[in-house]
């Protein structure tokens, strides 16, 4: 109830912003709603949230300040306590007509004109929310729409990350700028693997194919992670899987440039200092290159 109420209030705030050309403060809005619902519960009241239609009517009637919402609440309270018998005589058809008029006024015609240019996934979410709001319940429809939009966003982020961090075949792995002067003898034994962007479920299956693509002459796999801001559980287990597989094949893994969040995650399951020895962990590329150049004969 709290989550759906928060969603409904924020939805109402966004509609009010569009009508008044202002910007609401989401935290203040939700804190105020929480305080109001807490006090209401002390008197046997039920939780409430922002009301989009009433807000639109208020704004279209000229109430565009914070005081207008308070006045509207007081008027409703007076009607409930003193004028309920009179208000009950208002025909439902009149109220329906008001709601239809306000509903038409709430519609975002600019957004409707842009439907042909919006991604299909977003249009699909919009129509699902529209249908559910009409045949079921607005609050639940918004909640389901939020979940669907979140899943769609996760899919898009996965696709973007996959493009940023594409695991190319070994023969197509492109050298970074600071690797172009490495000798052919060095590269014959050391394969440098680049990971770029967030390392999560979007491309773990491709990464796990690394050990099967390495040339027979490879003795060391040097994993560069200075461009990895974060790693999730799927990426973590994919990294653990490939490190175990490399070790079983007699290939020594090295790690360079690990940031704070990936470092913490790798420590939690024992990748650092167990699968990758401390002496094989480096903070920058140059120090790792120098160490390997001096000690490359140790790896046969």
Q: What is the H or E stretch that residue 53 is in?
A: helix 52-60
Tell me the CA distances in angstroms from 194 to 3, 87, 135, 184, one per residue in order.
41, 70, 51, 18
This prediction's pTM? 0.52
User: Is residue 10 within 8 Å of 29, Cβ to Cβ?
Assistant: yes
CB atoms within 10 A of CB 52: 21
Query: Does 300 score more than 80 pLDDT?
Result: no
- DSSP designation for 254: E
Run of H or E including 227: strand 220-227
Q: What angle do CA 166, 167, 172 make, to 5 degrees?
A: 105
Among 124, 184, 111, 179, smallest CA distance to 151 is for 124
Residue 167 has pLDDT above 50, yes or no: no
Q: How far apart are CA 209 and CA 283, in angstroms?
A: 26
Asked whether the beta carbons of 236 and 270 are under 8 A apart, the reply is no
Query: At residue 202, does pLDDT exceed 70?
Result: no
First to last CA, the chain: 63
Q: Which tens digit of pLDDT belongs to each residue from 15-44?
A: 888 778 788 888 988 998 899 899 988 988
What pLDDT, in 10s, does the model give residues 239-293? Answer: 888 888 888 888 888 998 889 888 888 888 888 888 888 888 898 888 888 888 8
**What band does 205 get if pLDDT is binned at 50, 70 and 90?**
low
For the CA atoms of 128, 132, 138, 141, what is the dihedral angle to 10 degrees? -50
CA–CA distance, 231 with 206 (Å, rounded to integer): 15
- How far, in Å, CA of 116 to CA of 213, rounded? 43
Burial-class residue 38 by CB neighbours within 10 Å (0-12, 13-18, 19+): exposed
For 51-106, the pLDDT digits (tens) are 777 788 788 788 878 788 888 889 888 988 898 888 888 898 998 888 888 778 77
Residue 199's closest CA among 237, 228, 219?
228
Q: Confirm if 258 and 281 have CB atoms less than 8 A apart.
A: yes
All domains of the chain in start order, with CATH: 108-164 (no CATH), 170-298 (3.30.750.24)
The Cα diameter of the chain in Å comes to 96
CA distance 235 to 230: 9
- 215 in Cβ contact with 246 (< 8 Å): no
> What percent of the chain shows pLDDT beyond 90?
3
Computed from CA positions of residues 39, 45, 51, 54, in that sequence, does the dihedral angle turn out positive or negative? Answer: negative
């Amino acid at each position: 109830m709290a989550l759906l109420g928060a969603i409904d209030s924020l939805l109402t705030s966004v509609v009010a912003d569009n009508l008044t050309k202002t910007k609401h403060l989401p935290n203040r809005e939700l804190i105020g709603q929480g305080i109001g619902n807490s006090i209401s519960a002390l008197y046997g009241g039920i939780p409430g949230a922002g009301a989009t239609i009433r807000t639109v009517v208020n704004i279209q009637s000229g109430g565009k300040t914070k005081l207008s919402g308070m006045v509207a609440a007081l008027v409703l309270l007076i009607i409930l306590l003193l004028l309920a018998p009179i208000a009950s005589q208002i025909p439902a058809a009149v109220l329906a007509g008001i709601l239809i008029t306000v509903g038409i006024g709430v519609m975002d015609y600019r957004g409707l004109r842009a439907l042909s240019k919006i991604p299909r996934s977003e249009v699909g979410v919009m129509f699902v929310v529209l249908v559910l709001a009409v045949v079921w319940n607005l609050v639940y429809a918004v909640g389901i729409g939020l979940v669907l939009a979140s899943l769609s966003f996760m899919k898009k982020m996965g696709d973007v990350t996959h493009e940023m961090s594409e695991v190319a075949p070994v023969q197509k792995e492109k050298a970074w700028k600071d690797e172009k002067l490495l000798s052919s003898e060095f590269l014959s034994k050391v394969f440098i693997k680049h990971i770029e962007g967030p390392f999560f479920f979007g491309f773990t299956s491709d990464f796990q194919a690394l050990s099967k693509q390495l040339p027979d002459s490879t003795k060391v796999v040097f994993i560069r992670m200075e461009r990895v801001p974060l790693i999730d559980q799927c990426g973590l287990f994919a990294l653990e899987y490939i490190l175990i597989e490399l070790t079983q094949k007699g290939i020594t893994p090295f790690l360079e440039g690990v940031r704070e969040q990936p470092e913490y995650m790798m420590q939690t399951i024992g990748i650092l200092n167990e699968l990758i020895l401390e002496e094989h962990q480096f903070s920058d590329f140059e120090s790792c290159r120098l160490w390997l150049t001096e000690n490359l004969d140790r790896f046969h």
